[in-house]
Amino acid sequence: MRYVVTGAAGFIGSYLLQALLERGHDAVGWDSFTDYYDPALKEQNAASLPVTRIDLATDPLDLLETDGVFHLAGQPGVRSFGGAFPTYMRQNVLASHRLFEAAVRARTRVVFASSSSIYGDAAAYPTREDTVPRPLSPYGITKLAVEHLAYAYGRGFELDAVALRYFTIYGPRQRPDMAFTRMVSSLAEGRPFELYGDGTQSRSFTYVSDVVEATIAAMEKAPAGAVYNVGGGVEVSMLQAIEMLGRIAGRRLEVVRAPRVEGDVARTAADTSRIHAELGWEPQTPFAEGLGAQWRWAADRVAAR
List residues with catalytic annotation.
139
Q: Which is it for the CA torsion 53, 95, 137, 207, positive or negative?
A: negative
Question: Do strands 236-237 and 169-170 pair parallel, antiparallel, or not at all (unpaired)?
Answer: unpaired
Phi-psi region of 199 (alpha: psi -120 to 50; beta: other; left: phi over 0): left
β-pair partners for 169: 206
* Cα–Cα distances in angstroms (integers) from residue 23 to residues 6, 18, 20, 216, 221, in the given order: 18, 9, 5, 11, 16
List the one residue out of 128, 110, 109 whose CA is nearest residue 7.
Answer: 110
Q: How far apart are CA 206 and CA 149, in angstroms?
A: 26
d(CA 34, CA 183): 24
Note the Cα 177 to chain centre separation in Å.
Answer: 13
- Residue 51, SS3 per DSSP: strand
Q: Are 158 and 169 in contact (CB under 8 A)?
A: no
Strand-pair category, 202-203 with 68-71 = unpaired
Which residues neighbour 258 within 8 Å (Cβ) at sequence distance 6 or greater? 194, 195, 196, 197
Q: Are 31 and 42 in contact (CB under 8 A)?
A: yes
- 3-class DSSP assignment, residue 255: strand
